[in-house]
Amino acid sequence: MSIVDVRHLAVGYEGREILHDVSLSVDRKEVVAILGANGSGKSTLIRTVLGLVPIARGEIDLFETPQRRFRQWARVGYVPQRLGAGSGVPATVGEVVASGRLARRGIFRLPGAADRDAVRDALADVGLLDRADDPVATLSGGQQQRTLIARALAGKPDLLVLDEPTAGVDAASQEAFAASLRRFGDNGGTILLVAHELGPLRPLIDRAVVVHEGRIAYEGAPPEPAGHHAEPDHDHVHPHAVQPAAGICEWAPTDRMAAN
Amino acid sequence: MDLFQYDFMIRAMIGALIIGLAAPSLGIYLVQRRLSLIGDGIGHVALTGVGVGLLLNQSPVLAAVIVSAIGAIGVELIRERGRTSGDLALALLFYGGIAGGVVLVSLSDDASSNSLIQYLFGSLITTSPTDIVLIGVLGALVLIAMLGLRPALFAVCNDEEYARVSGLPVRTLNLLMAVTTAVTVTIAMRTVGLLLVSALMVIPVAAAQQVTRGFRGTMAAAMAIGVGAAGAGVIFSAEVDTPPGATTVILALALFVAIAVGSAAWRMMRRRSQPPREVEPPDVVLQKA
C-alpha cells in the first residue's frame, strides 16, 4: 500500500517554479530520505505533500486518498525544523506535546486519560519525561527538537514527516532521535524525512531520493557522503555539540569572584 | 464599605470585574502570536462604529461591535496572506478608523467633545443596567470561547503550520479570535476606554509570564491580575477621584513592575545561596592539536 504517492508534481511561488515534474512513492513501513542542497526544493516537496504549499500541477495521494479530500490528518505526524516562532508566553514541554493529541481528539473534547497516557509515552520515548513541566524555552536546541518529535508521536500517527530533524542538533539528541525513529519504524510506521546529511539516521534509511534544481536526480540506496563529510575523521559531531564551552564561560566569572 | 451604597458604583464594579477577567483570557493568545497591539488598532476602528451608531441614533456599543468585528476580520485576512505590505495596510485601517470616528461623532446630534472623551477614555460610572447585561453576556461568551477552546487556540498560536497539518480549522479559529478581539474591545470601551483597551489585554499577561512556567499557569495568573487590578482600580479611583480606566491601567503596570523587581530579586538571592555548579570535563575534543 502506498502511503504517499506524488505524481508529476510542479510547485511554484509567485511565478517561479521550484519543483518540476516530481514523482515519488513511499510504501508502508518504508523509511525514505529526501536529500539535496539548500534551495534544491526538498523542503518544498514535503511541505506540498503536507498541504502547506499549494500544488501547481500534478497529483498527491495520502493513504490512497487525493490530498484535497484527505481528512485523516491524525494519521500524519509532522515534525517541523524548529519550534514555531515562539513568543514571550511560556509553555511547558508537556503542553507543547499535548497539542499533538488534537488531531485525534478534535477541538471540542477535553483531554482524557488516553490523551495523558499518550503524552507521557511520547515524552518517555524521546527521553524527556523528567522535563515535562519545564518551560520549552529552557531546553537546548536538541531537546526542543525531541519535544517536537514527541508532539508528533503523541498523536499515534502511521506516517511521520520530518523536515531536517537533525540540523543543528547535538550528538546526544541525534542519537536519541535516531532511536525514537527506529522504534517507530519497528512498530510498523512509515517515515519520510528531509535531510541535508544523514548522520546517525543513515542506518535507518531504506531509500534515498536526491532532489536537485527541482527535479529528482537520484533514487536508490543512500549515497556515500561527498566533500568534507566523506573524510575518514569526520564523525558528524557538529560545533553545536560543544556545550561545555558555554559552561566554561558561565562558570569563569564565578571562579574569579571566589578567588578575590 | 459605603462606596457601594450607590447602584452606579455596584454596576461599575461588576463591569470592571467582568472585563478584568475576560480581557487577559483573550490577551494571552494575542501576546503569544506577537499581536500585542492589535487591540489598540481594533479600538481605533471601533471609534468609527461609535460614530456610526451616534449618527444613526442606534446603540453605539452595538454599532461598535459590528464595525470593529468587520475591521478585525479584515486585519486577520491581511495577516493570513503574510505580505510585507500587511503592516502598512494595518496602519491605514487604524488611522482611517480613528479619523472616521472623530468626523462621524462630530456630525451626530451628540456632537460634544465630552461624548468622544467618554469612549476614548472610558466612563464606567455612567454604565446603565442595560449596558451591564450586555457586558455580562458578551464577557461570558468571550470567557467560554477562550477557556473552552484553549488547547486548540494554544496550538494555533504556538505553531500555526503544525495546527494546519493536524487538520485543525485554523482559519475559523483565527477568525473567531479576531471577532472575540472586537467584542472584548467594545465591551471594555466602557471601563478603560478605546485608547487603553489593549492595556487590560496585555499588561496582566506580561506581568504573569515573568513568574510562570507554563501556558495554563500564565493564563490563570493573568486573569487573577486582571480582575485584581480592575477591582482595585474602581475602588481607588472613587477614593481619590481619578478616572477609573486610567487608574486600573496604572495599577496593573505597578503590579507588573513589582513582579518584575520581586522575581529578579528572588532569582538573585537563589543564585547566591547556591554553590557554584561543578562543570563536568568536556567529553568531546574541543580542538584538534
> Does pLDDT of A191 surpass 90?
yes
The pLDDT confidence band at residue A208, using thresholds 50, 70 and 90, is very high
> Does pLDDT of B284 surpass 60?
no
Which domains, and CATH codes, for chain B?
A: 2-195 (1.10.3470.10)
pLDDT (0 to 100) of residue A52: 93
The pLDDT confidence band at residue B80, using thresholds 50, 70 and 90, is confident
Interval B206-225 mean pLDDT: 95
The pLDDT confidence band at residue A64, using thresholds 50, 70 and 90, is very high
> Does pLDDT of B37 surpass 70?
yes
Interval B190-195 mean pLDDT: 82
Interval A237-250 mean pLDDT: 38
pLDDT (0 to 100) of residue A258: 37
> Does pLDDT of A14 surpass 80?
no
Name the DSSP letter for residue A106: -
**Cβ <8 Å between A90 and B214:** yes
Chain A contact set for B149 (CB, 8 A): 107-108
Backbone angles phi, psi at A105, to 5 degrees: -85, -30
Q: Which of A88, A237, A142 is nearest to B34 (CA)?
A: A88
Q: What percent of chain B has pLDDT over 70?
A: 90
Task: Give the end-to-end CA distance of chain B in Å, rounded to a whole number.
Answer: 79
Going by their DSSP bridges, the two strands A190-195 and A76-79 should be labelled as unpaired
pLDDT (0 to 100) of residue A134: 94
Chain B contact set for A73 (CB, 8 A): 165-167
The identity of residue A217, as a single letter, is: A
Q: What order of strands is seen across the sheet that includes strand A57-62?
A: A16-27, A2-13, A57-62, A65-66
**What pTM value is reported for the model?**
0.85
Nearest to A241 among B161, B218, B284 (CB): B284
ipTM value for the complex: 0.84
pLDDT (0 to 100) of residue A87: 62
Mean pLDDT over each residue of chain B, to the nearest integer? 86
> Does pLDDT of B39 surpass 90?
no
pLDDT (0 to 100) of residue A247: 32
Chain A residue with the nearest C-alpha to that of B222: A89
> Does pLDDT of A255 surpass 50?
no
Interval A237-260 mean pLDDT: 37
Task: List, for residues B89-126, the tens digit of each pLDDT value.
Answer: 778 888 889 899 989 988 887 666 667 888 888 887 77
b/e code B250-277 from CB counts within 10 Å (16+ = b):
bbbeebbeebeeeeeeeeeeeeeeeeee
The pLDDT confidence band at residue A169, using thresholds 50, 70 and 90, is confident
pLDDT (0 to 100) of residue A227: 56
Interval B52-74 mean pLDDT: 88
Contacts of A101 (CB under 8 A, 6+ apart): A111, A115, A118, A119, A154, A155, B151
Interval A162-172 mean pLDDT: 82
Q: What percent of chain B has pLDDT over 90?
A: 48
How many interchain CB pairs under 8 A, A with B? 123
User: Is the domain defined by A2-259 classed in CATH 3.10.20.30?
Assistant: no
The pLDDT confidence band at residue B127, using thresholds 50, 70 and 90, is confident
pLDDT (0 to 100) of residue A242: 38
Q: Does residue A96 belong to the interface with chain B, where contact is any CB pair within 8 Å?
A: yes
Q: What is the DSSP string of chain B?
A: -GGGGSHHHHHHHHHHHHHHHHHHHHHHHHHHTT-TTHHHHHHHHHHHHHHHHHHTTS-HHHHHHHHHHHHHHHHHHHHHHT-TTHHHHHHHHHHHHHHHHHHHHHHSTT--HHHHHHHHH--GGG--HHHHHHHHHHHHHHHHHHHHTHHHHHHHHH-HHHHHHTT--HHHHHHHHHHHHHHHHHHHTTTT-TTTHHHHHHHHHHHHTTT--SHHHHHHHHHHHHHHHHHHHHHHHHHHT--HHHHHHHHHHHHHHHHHHHHHHHHHHHHHHSPPPPPPPPSS-SS--
pLDDT (0 to 100) of residue A76: 95
Task: List, for residues B12-35, the tens digit of each pLDDT value.
Answer: 899 999 999 999 999 999 999 888
Distance, CA of B266 to CA of B268 (rounded, Å):
5
Q: Are B18 and B139 in contact (CB under 8 A)?
A: yes
Interval B147-167 mean pLDDT: 93
Q: Is A45 helix (H, G, I), strand (E, B) or coil?
A: helix
Chain A contact set for B156 (CB, 8 A): none
Chain B contact set for A100 (CB, 8 A): 166
Domain ranges of chain A: 2-259
> Does pLDDT of A98 surpass 70?
yes
pLDDT (0 to 100) of residue A164: 87
Closest CA of chain B from A195, distance in Å? 19
In 3-state terms, chain A is what percent helix, strand and coil (to 5)?
40, 25, 35
The pLDDT confidence band at residue A253, using thresholds 50, 70 and 90, is very low
Chain B contact set for A68 (CB, 8 A): none
Q: How many CB atoms lie within 10 A of CB B115?
A: 18
Task: List, for residues B239-254, the tens digit of each pLDDT value.
Answer: 998 888 899 999 999 9
Interval A109-125 mean pLDDT: 92
Nearest to A107 among B162, B168, B282 (CB): B168
> Does pLDDT of B77 surpass 90?
no
Backbone angles phi, psi at B229, to 5 degrees: -65, -40
- With a CB-CB cutoff of 8 Å, which residues 228-257 of chain A face chain B? 237, 241-242, 244-245, 247-248, 251, 254-255
The pLDDT confidence band at residue B59, using thresholds 50, 70 and 90, is confident
Q: For cell 523528567, name the residue.
A: A130
> Does pLDDT of A246 surpass 50?
no
Q: For cell 472616521, name the residue.
A: B100
Chain B contact set for A49 (CB, 8 A): none
Q: Does residue A259 belong to the interface with chain B, where contact is any CB pair within 8 Å?
A: no
pLDDT (0 to 100) of residue A256: 35
> Does pLDDT of A2 surpass 80?
yes
**Cβ <8 Å between A99 and B286:** no
Nearest to B286 among A78, A134, A245 (CB): A245
Lowest mean pLDDT among A84-88, A237-241, B42-46, B206-210: A237-241
**Cβ <8 Å between A251 and B279:** yes
Lowest mean pLDDT among A218-232, A246-260, B43-57, B212-226: A246-260
pLDDT (0 to 100) of residue A86: 57
> Does pLDDT of A35 surpass 50?
yes
Distance, CA of B207 to CA of B199 (rounded, Å):
11
> Does pLDDT of A1 surpass 90?
no
Contacts of A183 (CB under 8 A, 6+ apart): A125
Interval A147-171 mean pLDDT: 90
The pLDDT confidence band at residue A40, using thresholds 50, 70 and 90, is confident
- With a CB-CB cutoff of 8 Å, which residues 5-64 of chain A face chain B? 50-52
The pLDDT confidence band at residue A250, using thresholds 50, 70 and 90, is very low
Q: What percent of chain A has pLDDT over 90?
A: 56
